[in-house]
């Protein structure tokens, strides 16, 4: 059913009046994060419009407001997780803070653009609709320009007010935050207009292209009828696109920057070969190396000449052909990269997780080459995916159409048949800035993320890409490839940055694995929880409250049963249930540090000239509960459980049924304990999780996330905290692995990934050790073991 038409106000900055009606299209959100075996589907949040705020010193523009902030659905049951806080040396004794942290919000997922339709009178068939859409696109573009002008003016006002406040400290400072909120509001509004403009342009382009094809076919049919010729068999739209865009023509005429880049690479390659020849000319015994293979064999080789592929071929040619990548002294290594000294070599096949990641990353480079040849756009990044791969490309005003995916797939298959070798070069960062001067995104990466004087680039065919590697030997290693969807994304996942086109693919070393993957996708579609919820009358979602679930009587019964179950589990483990407020002053979030790191994901509003926010988590409120009266060591540990409603302002493009929502409830618990109680409490939390997950038939795996680069506190505290978590994991008895640098900035954590019915893993519960909140909130207790009852 088509969504209702909404009347938009005209904008004073528009050259032409806004169209009389505007209908927001359904947006398709892809790849939701699933806790149970639930695949992707579609949700349609509408674009709402109201009048904008009145600004000081300037007439108020009438602009549409961003979608209203509304509630979210309760997510499916998520078992207990815990967080512990380490005492600060300067404030000992302090309680350690263990909290059952909300399951981390899924990363922002891009969505594929829908096509808005403008209501119009059918005068002359589709011509009137196309003309109306063109007017709508112009109107939105004009509004977008006006919005950008307003944002620039508002920021100028903010800086002017700051200067005035510095010169007059006693002046009232109420206008600054107000203007900052207006800037944020206009930015959100600006993003919606950009999406709307993009969809209108895409829709118009598709309509014009389709109309042109129809007219061309009609002329050809008329010509054949006049000549008495037989009409050719009908073709699908995809075949029409393939006919219009010949991959061979694209390859013969690559963009100019590709040719210049390739010449630059060849010069760098010659320099590298000259340097390598110096090592090879030594010819003495110092070049002889010993290579130990993982199965215990020993092979003699030559430094800077012998490669892991040659080592594998000496053992077995079949092993050499099935090996995807090598591991040399614990470091992933290209099969054709020469060994530099004595080494222990491990040969990894597609069955190894690390080898699969390399395989799919190499497949992404094949897709990147096809994107460059076909569109001539700027490649951005291709991070390794879980079970698939994708590439982001910047095309300015153009978009990737789903009808073009078969063309890209054909181009990828042609690249694979050419067996283009992957060549690695280590180059100075300054030289690479010159090599990638045409691509602003690569230059940003080099300037902002590369801290070393040199880094690596890889070439396959005409593609030269900034990449750490490693890769497969050549593109022919990739046997089967499929390009299956596209969507939108933002540079650095920031809606304020450039909009990118994201294209997804998957590849395997044989047809059987591809067939199994396609069968898995079909089964996942059949298990879509949104479809099941609607068919069985459990729950539904509505555009008037995006990201919020409406539980029907049957669904509410299941939901309340889950709440009763987990409440009883907490009671059996001596957790005390508490109720905390839904909204707090921003001063609380500033004290906890969440305002600086998380305010963009919070719903905020003003009351009596003070800014408040709906709570996205319970930990600061529970700290206030602990601190409301003096605490004794006899009370420790204090275990608090909370099942209150939480709100998080997730981007509309990331909302996905019950797996990514804006309003939800969860079992969110926190434990305040002493240093000596830490290991025992963590063990108890692990046993708690195992008991609950096994009740629902979930198996899980454990990951220890350690100190990140932007950590807070002293290294000694972090080392001690990580050691405590490791000891608890060892005593727990299940296998676990380390995720280096993946901990939160305030403490290490244990992440649990549960396995669904389709064999996929999803990050769910977290046991988080937080030793910053007790310091920030000055949480203390009275100890009884020291004379004078120290705090």
- What was the pLDDT predicted at 149? 75
Stretch 312-328: mean pLDDT, rounded?
Answer: 94
Cβ-contact 55, 39 below 8 angstroms: no
pLDDT digits (tens, 9 = 90+) for 186-208: 766 666 666 566 556 555 655 56
Check residues 597 and 731 and name the one with the higher pLDDT: 731
Tens-place pLDDT, residues 366-419: 999 999 999 999 999 988 777 899 999 999 888 999 999 999 999 999 999 999
Of 148, 116, 112, nearest to 132 (Cα)? Answer: 116
pLDDT at 20: 40
| 747, 86 contact by CB (below 8 A) | yes
Rg of the chain on CA atoms, in Å: 30
Q: Report whether pLDDT(600) > 90.
A: no
pTM above 0.75, yes or no: no
Residue 420, number of CB atoms within 10 A of its CB:
19
* CATH value of 354-508 in 3.30.980.10, 3.40.50.2030, 2.40.160.20, 3.40.50.300: 3.30.980.10
- Mean pLDDT on 23-34: 37
pLDDT of residue 777: 93
Q: Identify the band that residue 42 occupies on the pLDDT scale cut at 50, 70 and 90.
A: very low
pLDDT for the residue numbered 37: 35
Mean pLDDT of the residues in the chain: 78
Average pLDDT over residues 177-184: 59
Residue the block writes with tokens 């693919």: 505
| Residue intervals in the chain for CATH 3.30.930.10 | 83-109+545-776
Tens-place pLDDT, residues 69-118? 333 333 333 333 333 333 444 434 455 454 444 444 434 333 333 343 33
Nearest to 338 by CA among 432, 430, 248, 273: 273
Q: Determine the average pLDDT of the residues in 636-645.
A: 95
110-119, 556-565, 742-751: which is most confident: 556-565
The pLDDT score that the predictor gives to residue 250 is: 44
pLDDT winner (highest mean) among 120-124, 151-155, 478-482: 478-482
Mean pLDDT of 462-481: 96
Give residue-wise pLDDT tens across range 246-304: 444 444 477 889 999 999 999 999 988 888 777 666 555 568 899 999 888 898 999 88
Query: What's the distance, CA 349 to chain centroid?
Result: 28
Q: Which pLDDT value is given to residue 127?
A: 54
Q: Count other Cβ atoms within 10 Å, centred on residue 679.
A: 16
- The whole-number pLDDT of residue 44 equals 36
Average pLDDT over residues 28-54: 37
Task: Choose the weakest-confidence range: 118-122, 482-486, 604-608, 671-675.
Answer: 118-122
Minimum mean pLDDT range among 44-58, 92-106, 418-432: 44-58
pLDDT at site 744: 81
| Whether residue 153 has pLDDT greater than 80 | no
Beta carbons of 749 and 715 less than 8 angstroms apart: no
Q: Which residues, listed in sequence order, are joined to residue 612 by a DSSP beta bridge?
A: 585, 605
CATH of 83-109+545-776, one of 3.30.9.40, 2.60.40.10, 3.30.930.10, 1.10.760.10: 3.30.930.10
pLDDT for residue 191 = 64
Give, as one character, the DSSP assignment of residue 172. Answer: -
Give dist(CA 768, CA 471) in Å, integer: 35
Mean pLDDT of 126-130: 57
What pLDDT score was predicted for residue 705?
92
């Amino acid at each position: 059913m088509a969504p209702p038409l909404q009347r938009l106000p005209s904008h004073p900055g528009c050259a032409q009046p806004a169209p009389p009606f505007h209908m927001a299209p359904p947006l398709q959100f892809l790849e939701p994060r699933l806790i149970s075996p639930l695949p992707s589907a579609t949700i349609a949040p509408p674009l709402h419009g109201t009048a904008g705020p009145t600004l000081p010193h300037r007439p108020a523009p009438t602009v549409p407001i961003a979608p209203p902030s509304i509630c979210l659905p309760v997510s499916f049951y998520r078992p207990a997780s815990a967080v512990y806080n380490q005492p600060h040396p300067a404030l000992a004794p302090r309680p350690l803070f263990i909290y059952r942290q909300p399951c981390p919000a899924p990363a922002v997922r891009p969505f594929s653009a829908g096509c808005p339709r403008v209501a119009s009178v059918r005068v002359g068939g589709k011509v009137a609709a196309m003309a109306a859409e063109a007017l709508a696109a112009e109107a939105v573009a004009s509004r977008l320009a006006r919005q950008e002008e307003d944002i620039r003016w508002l920021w100028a006002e903010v800086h002017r007010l700051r200067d005035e406040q510095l010169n007059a400290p006693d002046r009232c400072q109420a206008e600054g935050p107000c203007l900052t909120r207006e800037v944020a509001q206009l930015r959100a509004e600006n993003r919606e207009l950009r999406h709307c403009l993009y969809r209108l342009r895409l829709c118009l382009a598709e309509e014009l292209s389709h109309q042109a094809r129809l007219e061309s076919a009609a002329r050809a049919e008329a010509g054949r009828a006049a000549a008495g010729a037989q009409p050719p068999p009908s073709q699908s739209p995809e075949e029409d696109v393939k006919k219009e865009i010949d991959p061979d023509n694209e390859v013969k005429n690559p963009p100019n920057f590709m040719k210049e880049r390739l010449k630059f690479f060849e010069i760098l390659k010659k320099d590298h070969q000259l340097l390598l020849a110096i090592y090879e000319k030594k010819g003495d015994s110092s070049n002889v190396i010993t290579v130990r293979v993982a199965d215990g064999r020993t092979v003699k080789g030559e430094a800077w000449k012998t490669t892991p592929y040659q080592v594998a071929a000496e053992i077995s040619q079949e092993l050499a052909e099935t090996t995807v990548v090598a591991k040399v002294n614990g470091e992933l290594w290209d099969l054709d990269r020469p060994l530099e000294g004595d080494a222990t070599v491990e040969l990894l096949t597609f069955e190894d997780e690390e080898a699969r990641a390399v395989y799919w990353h190499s497949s992404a480079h094949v897709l990147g080459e096809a994107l460059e040849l076909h569109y001539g756009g700027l490649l951005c990044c291709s991070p390794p995916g879980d079970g698939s791969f994708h590439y982001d490309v910047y095309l300015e005003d153009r978009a990737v159409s789903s009808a073009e995916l078969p063309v890209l797939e054909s181009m990828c298959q042609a690249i694979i048949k050419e067996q283009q070798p992957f060549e690695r070069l280590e180059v100075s960062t300054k030289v690479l800035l010159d090599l990638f001067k045409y691509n602003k995104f690569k230059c940003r990466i080099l300037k902002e993320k590369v801290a070393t004087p040199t880094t690596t680039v890889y070439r396959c065919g005409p593609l030269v890409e900034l990449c750490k590697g490693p890769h497969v030997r050549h593109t022919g290693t990739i046997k089967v490839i499929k390009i299956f969807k596209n969507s939108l994304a933002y540079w650095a996942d920031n809606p304020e940055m450039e909009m990118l086109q994201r294209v997804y693919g998957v590849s395997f070393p044989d047809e059987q694995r591809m067939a199994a993957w396609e069968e898995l996708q079909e089964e996942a579609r059949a298990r879509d929880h949104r479809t099941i919820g609607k068919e069985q009358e459990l729950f539904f979602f509505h555009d008037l409250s995006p990201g919020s679930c409406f539980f029907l009587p049957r669904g509410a019964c299941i939901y309340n049963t889950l709440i009763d179950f987990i409440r009883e589990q907490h009671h059996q483990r001596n957790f005390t249930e508490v109720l905390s407020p839904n909204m707090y002053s921003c001063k609380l979030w500033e004290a906890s540090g969440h305002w600086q790191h998380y305010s963009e994901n919070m719903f905020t509003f003003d009351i009596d000239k003070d800014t408040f926010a709906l709570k996205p988590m319970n930990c600061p409120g529970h700290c206030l509960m602990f601190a409301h009266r003096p605490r004794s060591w006899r009370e420790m540990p204090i275990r608090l459980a909370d099942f209150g409603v939480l709100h998080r302002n997730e981007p509309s493009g990331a909302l996905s049924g019950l797996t990514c929502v804006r309003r939800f409830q969860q079992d969110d618990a926190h434990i305040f304990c002493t240093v000596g109680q830490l290991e025992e409490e963590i063990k108890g939390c692990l046993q708690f999780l195992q008991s609950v997950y096994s009740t629902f038939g979930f198996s899980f795996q454990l990951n220890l996330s350690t100190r990140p680069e932007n950590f807070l506190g002293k290294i000694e505290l972090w080392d001690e905290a990580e050691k405590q978590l490791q000891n608890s994991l060892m005593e727990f008895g299940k296998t676990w692995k380390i995720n280096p640098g993946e901990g939160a900035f305030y403490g290490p954590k244990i992440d649990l990934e549960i396995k669904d019915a389709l064999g996929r893993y999803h990050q769910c519960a977290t046991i988080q050790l937080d030793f910053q909140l007790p310091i920030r909130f000055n949480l203390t207790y009275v100890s009884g073991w020291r004379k004078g009852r120290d705090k």
